[in-house]
Structure 1
């Protein structure tokens, strides 16, 4: 790392939370003669790149900013550089820098600085609304605000897997949600197909999500996580409200997938260009009855497998009095093979918006998980032994 790059990274660490871009711009001007620095963050719909400062949103798919965002690599056009901003697979947006000399070492240093900006944005966002507010092309409903604050991130990448999810309609979601966590040995994923309307639906989903997190962090099995969340929801609502939930756990050393289907959203496997539903056992939704016992199922994932979780708001979307349906969904999922999970999710949501000619009316959640195979990750995950 050059001294100039080190100083730029240090300027980000030492900057006040609301002045990251200002302090970075000043340091880049001194170190590299750069006169223009602007951050564009992707909005909640994954449809626009919104400037932190003054300027117009970027919406054209062919724009260099979107090519940078999609391919996650620097793009240079006539001394204007676009650099991906993100952290651990989570794509936050792009950094526009000008002028940028066509010097590989400088481009590499600026790319590293843009990544450092992504880390700092994540670190400071809990203490300032500056960056969250700038990601919105319109006002969020209160229910949507609650749901987005509940999410872990929209994408995650590790050597063994790649993961992405999206809620729709992004600015007015109610009860649909997802949650995930990994510890280097296992990946946990929960997808909730919420019920009800507005804040009441968001509160119900929040209760279930925190109950699942509490059980997961206590080291309980997947079935016991479902049982604890089921008890929490039932204790409050006595069966009058419940939640369809899919719980998944992947052992990163082996690719063994454990599933608990609590009246869940749909789980679809894309393997070798074939699309089919995994044969999971339907069990009662969380909170429907008191003291439900849940059963686990196990499946072996193969390297290259892609899993989609979709709520009923996807299949049941209606455009021109025609339902989107299973056939259209399966046909589209086959076409996502070459795409990274976040791009696959964004493409599916875009296809749905085009189908309904606007934002979705019903809540929809889409999650995509790629299993790339057992491999070392942070020194904790070993290769799959012969069996």
Structure 2
């Protein structure tokens, strides 16, 4: 007689082997697919391996207000839709025979994969959705299909330049979660943000190039790349600002400048090194209280020749949320008046339970509702949660 325990173990090992085989087939299908046919090749694989005959990728649009189907069809804008619940909660959502899975890579939320009909295989299908996210990231530079499909309308040229400049919209690691958003998303001009992380540090910069249209976007691009060049050369934060200042001055001779806030976070200790070069607003949410983090303002980048920048330091506490907003947020005006400090502080407190990407999305949606449409001035909002191990 066969030992039931041994039989069960054999079945479990066989199930695991079959799971790995199915995932390997999906990985190979994605890796070998033409860049513009990732979803189609994945759908063929899922039909054969799982009997799934309805596959759709919904990508989040630039405004974070709609989920747009790659294959055409209904745009999803209601937060109650199962696809949006999956996107917001970053979890599987089951709706009858359909299953919605987040398509996310290293915290970068790209959209949601809808599969139907589905029975079982929850964890392996979730991993396949993550594989798709990695492949989408890998091919974006070689095909416009996914970029175009994520737009609900045409971008202005300046906005095209700004979005191409971003390293991503969100990032997550065990020690932190970060997200940023630009508004008006389809016509942003000079406002932007940049970030990079390594083993023990996170660099975060927010920028606002003066002027309008392409001129503002070009100015911000120059400053961003100058800061990256200095950072990658191993320069300290103050020297990074000084090099970018020289680059902007060399091209514009003081007629144009960029307001910037440079932050470097030690991921182990919470020590923040900062350079405030005419920066946006910096707040910390700690234990339900909004704290204005005071920094000594220094000259914007490129305003004067040979400016020396001084570093300042402060500490985050475990569980702190850091929020950076540009003047386009505080100066938003409607018939009811100015959005202002009090309303912003109230929002930051009320949004504490939201993940950073949801928080910046909700803030800018709140602003659009406040002004009754798109913002007149550019705005950038960045949210960072620090949660050391």
Query: Do they fold alike, i.e. is TM over 0.5?
Result: yes
The answer to whether 1:257 aligns with 2:272 is yes
**How far did residue 152 of structure 1 move?**
0.4
State the match for 1:150 in structure 2: 165
Task: State the SS of the aligned residue for 1:128.
Answer: coil
The answer to whether 1:111 aligns with 2:111 is no
State the match for 2:332 in structure 1: 317
**How far did residue 321 of structure 1 move?**
5.1
State the match for 1:76 in structure 2: 94
Cα distance in 1 for partners of 2:80, 2:347 equals 22
State the match for 1:137 in structure 2: 152
State the match for 2:175 in structure 1: 160
The answer to whether 1:45 aligns with 2:92 is no
Cα distance in 1 for partners of 2:286, 2:192 equals 25
State the match for 2:215 in structure 1: 200
Correspondences of 1:223-262 after superposition (within 5 Å)? 223-262=238-277
**How far did residue 359 of structure 1 move?**
1.4
Task: State the SS of the aligned residue for 2:168.
Answer: coil
Residue number among 347, 351, 369 corresponding to 1:336 in the alignment: 351
**How far did residue 2 of structure 1 move?**
2.6
Deviates further, 270-279 or 226-235: 270-279
Cα distance in 1 for partners of 2:253, 2:209 equals 17
Residue number among 332, 343, 360 corresponding to 2:375 in the alignment: 360
Q: Which 4+ stretches in 1 moved above 4 angstroms?
A: none
Cα distance in 1 for partners of 2:288, 2:95 equals 37
Cα distance in 1 for partners of 2:137, 2:344 equals 34
What is the number of residues matched between the two proteins?
371
Cα distance in 2 for partners of 1:331, 1:242 equals 32
The answer to whether 1:209 aligns with 2:224 is yes
Task: State the SS of the aligned residue for 2:187.
Answer: coil
Cα distance in 2 for partners of 1:221, 1:189 equals 14
CA deviations 1:160-193 (Å, max 9, x no partner) are 1110000000000000000000011110011002
Unaligned runs of 5+ in 2: 1-18
State the match for 1:384 in structure 2: none
Q: CA RMSD in A?
A: 0.8
The answer to whether 1:299 aligns with 2:317 is no
State the match for 2:135 in structure 1: 120
Cα distance in 1 for partners of 2:22, 2:237 equals 49
* TM-score of the pair, normalised by structure 1: 0.95
CA deviations 1:289-317 (Å, max 9, x no partner) are 00001000111111111111100000100
Q: Which has the larger radius of gyration?
A: 2
Task: State the SS of the aligned residue for 1:110.
Answer: helix
Cα distance in 1 for partners of 2:173, 2:22 equals 29
State the match for 2:115 in structure 1: 97
State the match for 1:372 in structure 2: 387
**How far did residue 360 of structure 1 move?**
1.2
The answer to whether 1:345 aligns with 2:363 is no
Cα distance in 2 for partners of 1:77, 1:3 equals 27
State the match for 1:173 in structure 2: 188
State the match for 1:54 in structure 2: 72
* TM-score of the pair, normalised by structure 2: 0.94
Cα distance in 2 for partners of 1:299, 1:325 equals 25
**How far did residue 67 of structure 1 move?**
0.2
CA deviations 1:9-64 (Å, max 9, x no partner) are 21111111001011000010000111110100000000000011120110011000
Unaligned runs of 5+ in 1: 376-387
State the match for 2:54 in structure 1: 36
